[in-house]
Amino acid sequence: MKAVQVSRFGGPEVLEYVDLPEPNPASGQVLVEMKAIGVNFRDVTMRANKFPADLMGRSVPDTPFVLGSEGAGIVSKIGCGVTEVSVGDRVAFFYPEGASYAEKVVVPSWRLVPVPTDMDLEVSAAALLQGLTAHLLAHSTYPIQPDDYVLVHAAAGGVGSLLTQIAKWSGAYVIGTVSTATKARFAQDLGADDVIIYTEHDFAEEVARITHGSGVNVVYDAIGLATFEKSLASLGRRGYLVMYGSASGPVSEVNASIFTRRSMYLTRASLLDYTETRSELLARSEEIFEWIKSGRLRLSIYDRIPLRDAALAHRELENRITTGKVLLIP
């Protein structure tokens, strides 16, 4: 089978389109014939070995290794003891060790989510990981309330664009940050009340102006080191800084006394902790899929790129030109 592997750590050029043996599912596992593969910024940082371990302690594998942790396809083979799915089922998945940049992928059966018959597999691949993330952030980590002030970093990105919509229909006043005027228009079209182009303005100063100095109830931050201090400065009393990524680098040291200034809270949300049982995984997934099918949640697929050209997808993410999801198509 064909796959894309990291031959050595470095830039997009280290991604190689290679032939690998087809994997066989062990007990409790399923072989999925991939139809669409999601690309995430975590893939970029793993390829470059930018951070030796993520915030959950998972180390980057030794090279060569196959990237990817999400996608959608058709069940082609099942291992012993599998009861959740059958051969021929349409499924999507998120699995950190999934090695999904390949034509066929082995996944634990309990991590597979059935895709509705009236939903395109590409849509499910684009929706699952980032939709689940937006769902847990807005409904569990900090449940957004009517009239809340909400700051969403990267509001035109995969998770940010979904969070913006969920926060808006939850009754919040939504402030987004983006890097360009094009992305600002995109975020406004999704419902953001104010959009700050952070390359032109100090977002903490703008938040203070917009909120008349009171600050926001919650900041959703996947950027990490570059935004951490100003995200804290943007919070109001008893405000929550919810971190769910570290695109600019992890925050390694935090002085706890800083949170006493306004009785602030800091948390780092992990999707694995909010989908640790199959029932919770399915409940969140079903709600996300229903929102998309009904038109309530608008999903943006920025680009569909052949698997062999995975390097192009990485360049798009690194150059910060995307609005929405990038998919690889085997």
Which CATH number goes with the domain that contains 190? 3.40.50.720
pLDDT at 96: 73
Task: Supply the CATH number for residue 289's domain.
Answer: 3.90.180.10
Spell out, as residue ranges, where the chain has pLDDT lower than 70.
51-58
Clarify whether residues 199 and 286 are in a common domain: no
Structural domain includes residue 194: yes
Clarify whether residues 14 and 67 are in a common domain: yes
187 backbone dihedrals φ, ψ, rounded to 5°: -65, -40
Structural domain includes residue 141: no
pLDDT at 55: 45
Q: Which domain holds residue 21?
A: 2-129+275-329
Clarify whether residues 32 and 114 are in a common domain: yes
In whole angstroms, how large is the CA radius of gyration of the chain? 20
Q: List beta partners, residue 152.
A: 176, 220
pLDDT digits (tens, 9 = 90+) for 51-93: 655 544 567 888 999 999 999 999 999 999 999 999 999 999 9
**Cα angle for residues 182, 177, 167 (degrees, 5° grid):** 105
Q: Taking the model in full, what pTM does it have? A: 0.91
Clarify whether residues 264 and 279 are in a common domain: no
pLDDT at 225: 81
Give me the numbers of helices (H) and strands (E) for the chain, helices first please: 8, 16
**Token reading at 109:** 């059966």
pLDDT digits (tens, 9 = 90+) for 306-322: 999 999 999 999 988 88
Domain count, the chain: 2
Beta strands 235-243 and 90-94 are unpaired
pLDDT at 81: 95
Could you give the CA distance from residue 65 to residue 43 in angstroms, rounded to a whole number? 12
59 backbone dihedrals φ, ψ, rounded to 5°: -85, 155
